[in-house]
Amino acid sequence: MTKAYIDGQWHDSARHFAVANPATHETLAQVPDMGAEDAREAIAAADRAFAGWRKKAAKERAALLRRWFEAIMAHQEELAQLMTLEQGKPLAESRGEVAYGASFVEYFAEEAKRIAGETLPGHGADKRILVFREPVGVVTAITPWNFPLAMITRKCAPALAAGCSVVIKPAEATPLTALALAKLAEEAGLPAGVLNVITASTGAEIGEVLSTDARVRKISFTGSTPVGKKLLAQCADTVKKASMELGGNAPFIVFDDADIDAAVEGALLSKYRNTGQTCVCTNRFLVQDNVYETFLEKLATRVKALKVGNGMEDGVVQGPLINQAAVEKVQTHIGDALDKGGRLVCGGKTHALGGTFFEPTVIADATPDMRVAREETFGPLAPVFRFTTEEEAVALANATEFGLAAYFYARDYRRIWHVSESLEYGMVAVNEGHLSTELAPFGGVKESGLGREGSRYGLEEFTELKYVCIGSL
């Protein structure tokens, strides 16, 4: 589908923008370039639909979500191909993302039936306290290009399960996957207006409406920290609830008691997945003195073997970066690190394939004064820092305004407990390189965000408590 989806209708607009394949630069489609008026129309549709949707029996909402899940899985291959075409990630990763994204729809279809309130002891013999859990209302979702499918389902499935209606504004680079999801929701029988998708070539104009319109009660955003801060400020006037999944600066600590081979496996997964373009990708490797050279050598050997290319081709594990700005950021971080004494171990430049393909890179002897120590690279660059003591590792890991994901490898059980408790992060992976699942609460602390997605905590974000006091009994 190449039209936007408002109130159960496929909408075109006067202006369009091109969606391009980042591997080949071919134009895939033209989609409507919508503006503030379209955003208000979508919100009006969601507002009308909310009344009926919230009143449906939870079991009915659950059944419709289940059908959406089945429709997504029945089209797993087409969705994966579409995602690789517009986003660039290797086909195997796209297939994984469809399954991961669908798992939120499956899980929240089940949980829709378990949204329960409670009764509390009253404050007088003649009084009773009831606590209801109600849907917050119309929800808007602004999503990024790095997970074109899963970032939508992770927000929409719990919102819909709770009884909210949704307006989605997908990233300008990847609107086609979002529109395909809407098509499948339509086929699954979701009522008109319950789920709407509007497309635009830039985020600001529509973002302003989605974060300021009084009919919207909650915004859920995944993207960069500066945009998240702006949206949060815009929400203040109408006191909206907000969930923010923002940037990270993930440390990956390798202690000297770790299984080094397992750490290298985890390192590859956490750093180079999606060509380094995930908010939980490792940004800094911190390695203890006496295993530093061993880890570095093993990591570099594996990184040199990563096959770069068009994600549609067999065996490719590193697709292109999303655009030229992404390439420039990686180049800037590499240049800065080398100027400040970093040692280039492998990679370091754009790939011979041209375009936005980039060589997977490892830089040793990284130091805290480098930009890679403070800023998220969002690309295939692994800077490796050295430390001596556990306290030093924790201090280095926490020396950032971000706090999304952290990883560490160790065997000593005391160390595993102490370090897990000392890391100022929303998520800590111990002897694991991958932690995303619909069963766990995903989210960050500090400037990495607000709120959680996935698990029952992710469902609570879309509910509001209502206290009813029954007196004079």
Buried residues in 214-235 as b, exposed as e (16+ CB within 10 A):
ebbbbbbbbbebebbebbbebb
Per-residue binding string, ligand ADP, 420-449, x by CB under 6 A, is ------------------------------
Stretch that binds ligand ADP, among 54-62, 222-230, 312-320, 458-466 (CB under 6 A): 222-230
Site string for ligand ADP, 350-379 (x = CB under 6 A): ------------------------------
> Token digits for 141?
């979702």
CB 208 within 8 A of CB 103: no
Q: Which of 34, 171, 209, 263 binds ligand ADP (CB under 6 A)?
A: 171
Q: How far is CA 425 from CA 132, 369, 370, 403, in A?
A: 32, 22, 22, 4
Element (H, E) at 183: helix 175-188
Residue closer to ligand ADP by CB (options 84, 140) is 140
Q: How far is the CB of 22 from ligand ADP (least distance, A)?
A: 13
Closest approach, Cβ 206 to ligand ADP, in A, equals 7
Residue nearer to ligand ADP on the CB measure, 171 or 416: 171
* Edge-to-edge strands, sheet with 361-366: 343-346, 361-366, 381-387, 282-288, 250-254, 405-409, 427-430
Measure Cα distances from 169 to 86, 174, 206, 427 in Å. Answer: 16, 10, 8, 27
Cβ neighbours, 10 Å, residue 130:
14
- Between CA 411 and CA 153 the distance in angstroms is 36
State in angstroms the smallest separation of the CB of 322 from ligand ADP: 8
Residue closer to ligand ADP by CB (options 163, 207) is 207
Comparing CB distances to ligand ADP, the nearer of 144 and 444 is: 144
106 catalytic per annotation: no
In the bound complex, what is the minimum distance in angstroms from residue 144's beta carbon to ligand ADP? 4
Q: Which of 282, 281, 275, 302 is nearest to 357 (CA)?
A: 275
Of 106-165, binders to ligand ADP (CB under 6 A) are 142-144
> Looking at beta carbons only, is 34 or 317 nearer to ligand ADP?
34
Q: Smaller CB distance to ligand ADP: residue 65 or 156?
A: 156
Indicate the residue whose CB is closest to ligand ADP: 207
Instruction: Tell me the C-alpha distance between 20 and 443, whole Å.
Output: 30
At closest approach, how far in Å is the CB of 91 from ligand ADP? 22
Q: Which of 148, 207, 383, 433 forms a contact with ligand ADP (CB under 6 A)?
A: 207
Q: How far is the CB of 445 from ligand ADP (least distance, A)?
A: 19
Smallest distance from ligand ADP to CB 451, Å: 16
Between 279 and 299, CB nearer to ligand ADP: 279
Task: In whole angstroms, give the CA distance from residue 160 to residue 108.
Answer: 9
Q: Which residues, numbered 175-204, are part of the site for ligand ADP (CB under 6 A)? A: 203-204
Shortest distance in whole angstroms from residue 213 CB to ligand ADP: 13
Nearest to 104 by CA among 76, 66, 142: 66
Nearest to 429 by CA among 411, 405, 453: 405
The least distance separating ligand ADP from the CB of residue 436, rounded to whole angstroms, comes to 17
On whether the CB atoms of residues 71 and 187 are closer than 8 A, the answer is yes
Q: Give the active site residue among 41, 93, 106, 245.
A: 245
Integer-rounded Cα Rg, in Å, for the chain is 23
Angstrom CA distances, 472 to 118, 129, 132, stand at 20, 12, 20
Residue 227 lies near ligand ADP (rule: CB under 6 A): yes
Q: Are strands 4-6 and 9-11 parallel, antiparallel or unpaired?
A: antiparallel
Handedness of CA 405, 408, 414, 418 (dihedral sign): negative
Look at the block and give the residue holding tokens 């059908």: 67
Query: Residue 95: CA atoms inside 13 Å, Cβ hemisphere, count?
Result: 6
If you search the block for the tokens 């009143």, which residue do you land on? 55
Between 143 and 282, CB nearer to ligand ADP: 143
Of the two residues 230 and 298, which places its CB atom closer to ligand ADP in the complex? 230
Give how many residues touch ligand ADP by CB under 6 A.
14
Of 223, 266, 433, 449, the residue at the interface with ligand ADP (CB under 6 A) is 223
**Which part of the chain contacts ligand ADP (CB under 6 A), choosing from 5-13, 88-96, 227-235, 382-390?**
227-235
Please list the active-site residues.
245
Q: Which residues bind ligand ADP (CB under 6 A)?
A: 142-144, 169, 171-172, 203-204, 207, 223-224, 227, 230-231
